[in-house]
Structure 1
Amino acid sequence: MTSNAFKYSVLAVAITTSLGVASTANAAKSVGDSTPTIDNIATATYSIAGIAQTPVESNKVTVNITQSAAFSLTAKNVDGDLTDDYNKLAVVTPKGRVAFNHTLTNSGNVEDTYTLNLAQGGDIPNNPQGAGSYDFATTNVTYTIYNADGTEKSTQTVTGTVFQNTNIVLKPNERADILVSAKTSGNIGGDSQNLTLSATSAFFTASDVTKATLTNIDNSVTKVPVFKITSKVSSTLNLNDPTSKVTYTVTVRNDENAPYAANANNIMVFDGLPAGLRLADQPNISVSNNATITSGNEGKGTSSASDSIRVTLLNLAPGQEATIKFDVQKDQAETLADLKTTLNHAAVTLDLGENQIIYDTTDANDTQQNTANFYPSTDDSEITDGTVNTVIGSDSTAPLVSNQRAVSIVSPTKKEIPTTTTANTLVTHSAVISNTGKETEGDAVGEIKLTITSGSGNKVTVVAGSVELVYDADNNPATPNTTYTITRDGNGDYDLSTAIPKNGAPAWTGMVPNSTVTINYQVESNEAVVGTTENTTVTLVVGGQDAPTTGDRLVRNETTVKGLKLLKEQALNETCAASSTLTFTQGAVAAKPGNCIVYKITAFNDFSAADPRFTFDNVVITDTTARFNDKAIIQSASTTYVFPVKLDDVTSNSEIPATNSYNASASTSAISGTVTSLAPQKYAAMVFAVKLNPAGSTTP
């Protein structure tokens, strides 16, 4: 701030006073004359002849004395205007100290006593009294009295409280320099506060009270650095990778948008990392503006790792900004409490003197923050979501997002399929995606994708448009799961983020931690070969930020072609006796003309599961007679050998049907019968006998 100095023309005042003209000269000077008199009369007494005579007085002689009283009170700060009675625009910090200089001069020819006082406020044009004031108890006033020849006569320093009603005696042409080292109180940036110094002359109080008191008004404006602190983080932190690191950039700006901003010297910046973070192995710490930066172990963690930085010797004029950078990684010895909104706070400290220290931080919950003592309440605020804060003196910090992703695909399935499927006999395979990490998965494009590929045999293939997701958010059987459809994109991938709700399910928002998604899809077959097996491969493709590199990434689902198995066996009955013990075999039998051969045909439903879709209906078992023409005669009830055709359910392929419950019969062309229903893993058998013709005969 600039200070004000007052200069007054003594000559002009003296002239106008002597001429009896009403003076408009500077109010900080008073001049007056008085004319005391000395009247002198002599007396004498005498006697004659010892007798007293009448006393005698002489004539009166008169001496008229002219007394000239004058004093001035001058404001001496250099403030750009030396013609007023004000010390204006002196700069002070909140609750700081400011110097006001004054001179009280006795310019008359009589000794005078002056009573000095300080008072709050005072009216200065264009410099109104603001919210601040002065603390007289801590204000110091030094007054030094000088002789007429300029040599120092005495000096004394007292508090502003003690200074009140101080009397100073000045002889003609003596002066007193008065230094008011004023301590402000209750003032914040932008405030203006006034102080009045008055001097009252004892001489004029007695002779002309209108000229008895002179005043100077002191004015200071409050200026203070205004800090705008911003903390940003470069990327996410991958907790699956111990070497993963992020870069913090902290900027400190002396906000020039505050009209009361002032230079700041020897700023200190401190950043103590939250528990769970430490400076990286190679932290790359740096600071601009020729400041000094050091690392330390003063963060909130408890391990021995370096987890803090401190910047000192930082100077910022209004509009200047300093940039601080350092790399951070996970402290493996500590737990990071909040993986998604970890906040790293920076704090700025500036010692203004007079025990006034600004503490500004990005942490609104920090009880040490005291900017309300220095700035208007609207000129400091904190934002913790990383967005831009445009308010004067605003601070912001961005949350650190830490990712701990873990996903895998498990639970391959084995299914059986008919040789040729219809819409009712398609087979559903599945695979399970498990989110065992701490992040939501599959809510962003490209984060979780699948590919489903058929085997090389190309007889068992995936049914287009059949892929569904069944989402289990909590692994609680009591909570219903939700179902979604998903289609393949142009690259042949199924992206979970494109899942479409089905059956009233809510919109897809991804897999929360500890949830599962079951991938269901159908396969179909086309003239596949019974007994063959084909695989479909479901591959999990994990992308996005901090994609995990461990965990199962594919399952192979196995599809085995199943159907009706037919086993034909024969047994030699040499005597053709109905009671003969028969031994069936698939191998060749050595028989002689006239022997009998018993054939057994066993039908088996090879599907292993009790799936009603795979129960065979109307299984027709046939053996044509053309194979026996001119070689053997089929035996029946009408032949000598009584061994009729029988077809019935049996428990295994070694059992002979006991009855002909399915009414098998022999005709001139075939032996056949129809099993009305054959469930999975069930058997039915048909037997009949032939008698070999005698050697060389076409008849038995």
Structure 2
Amino acid sequence: MKSSTFKYSMLTVGIAASLGIVSTANAAESAAASTPTIDNVATATYKIGAIAQTPVQSNKVTVNITQSAAFSLTAKNDDGNATDDYNRSAIVTPKGRVAFNHTLTNSGNVEDTYTLSLAQGGTIPGSTQDASSYDLAATNVTYTVYNADGTVKKATTVTGTDFQNTNIVLKPNEHADILISAKTVGNVGGNSQNLTLSAASTFFTNSDTTKATLTNINNSITKVPVFKITSKVSSTLNLNDPSSKVTYTITVRNDETASYAANANNIIVFNGLPEGLRLADQPNLSVSNNATIVPGNEGKGSSSADDSVRVTLLNLEPGQEATITFDVQKDQNETLTNPKNVINHASVSLDLGENQVIYDSTDGTDPKQNTNVFYPAGDDSEVTDGTTNTTTGSDSAAPLVANQRALSIVSPTKKEIPTSTTESTQVTHSVILSNTGKEVEGDKPGEVKFTITPNANNKVTVVTGSVELIYDADNNPNTPNAVYTITRDVNGDNDLSTAVPKNGAPPWTGMAPNSIVTITYKVESNKAVIDTTETTTVSLVLGGQDVPTLGERIAKNTTTVKGLKLVKEQALNENCAASTTLTFTQADVAASPGNCIVYKITAFNDFSNADARFTFNDLVINDTTARFNNKAQVLTTSTSPAFTIRLAEVADANVLPTDNTYGATASSTAVSGTVTNLAPQKYAAMVFAVKINPDGTTTP
């Protein structure tokens, strides 16, 4: 987002034309076209060990040397993009409400009247406009007018319908903040809807109608939590033993595979047991994520025993999962119909506000289920045979049947890696394969296999031949583990039965019940992009007799590429005084000939403190002076005014270096210096100053 800005000379049109002055309507700049500017970008190179890493370029900072009369309409939402006229990708729920913030500013030298209106739609490059839109009658618009000194002049709230053709009068340097509380209509998850705010200047209308109107386009993306509910049962219930019990595990995941998934707060999960089942005498109720779980008597049975659980105060971000467990036994006062195929269903409900409540269930026949109102067609489906449902927002429930085998692949890892690695800077990932069943697993060919699959076309790859197995036969930390190597077959599978002993381990005889195998492998990088995350999927492939259907089959390890972060800032020093308090910004700065600009370049080692291998060596910070040599002079200790160029480590991104520890200097082509070592989570900063030439454009 940024401001749309119109500049216009106070001369008459005829005089302006005769003098060759051009008035402009430029959304990106705050100066007339003939006004010189300084655009500045810093670069840096560095090494990890002896390996050169990917060069880094800072953000651009701009100095507008003069200021013209102007009015601007600024899109103010914090959308991560400060360079356009749009409020992009504001999040809204289906039929929900979203806030768009704008500021209308009279930065000219005449009082002006602005006519404001709202219109459906508008084109934003790179975004789509769906059939969904906004209900202007239910939309509220609050505009607050401020005096030049920042005090409130007046505040008014109207509906979006009444806001049409509203006139706001602003004196020079006055501004109006405009808050649009927009109500969406007809939208489901993933929809994108646009709303255009326009401001027409009476002053420009009377002088040049082609420059009279500014627009900001608001865009909201419809997002909604996407629940993936799974109901699993631990084992077979022995109906001949009244004390026999099984454990139900309900997992609720906010499905991150849906691009429109949003945070969910205060989720309610309910599980009413089928008739014939009740909570065990010792139900061992458990819930993760700091949620609350309580028993109840709201199940489908008619006895007085507790036969339901209710979870409240559950919060899930996309990709997060909550686990609910409780023990169940036969209710001796009720009949358990079809005991070998009893299905336990769980449901989730969430109040989204604006009278919108989403209800999702593992039971596709539940009349209260309404996910079709919130999700696109095809998202959310149910299976009740215990198989894994892979569609977005899918739900699954497993029948209460006998099953002696049970394996799960869990506990994926998250690691950081440089843009390029050597053998010493590779990182190791792992997942845990757990045998919770009653049979030995992986002793026969084809019974237990797994694959390790990196992202397609990625630059973080699995190191060939690095896969190892760490076998914990008894899940006891006090007994030693055995290590094995394993090699992929021609199909890309790793068959557990082919494990080869390492370091004196005994021959492989399979996984005993209640044992675990930790699967490890290394990854390396080659010119990867900083801040990207590569996913490596470890998939469990089971065969043999009585293939288990319970347990996780996929674990995703993530590798985040870390490196150097470089930020360029600038501060105006109007009088070029050494004692002036400086305010640094990445935004445009308005300056005049003769003013000074102080530049600050901050380098940050973005690796976490956990791994000291990733210290940066020979970090060169370089700012090329060719960008402003004809407009400004670099100040040093030998110039007038004098300014000391400094480069040193600093405590954080807001601190200026106090000395020139690393000997930064100014040459005829650049200001630069080399930081010898920069450890993870450490900052280094370089500052220098320039004085704008007296006429703003040429060398004095």
TM-score normalised according to structure 2 size: 0.48
Q: Which has the larger radius of gyration?
A: 1
- Output the TM-score relative to the length of structure 1: 0.48
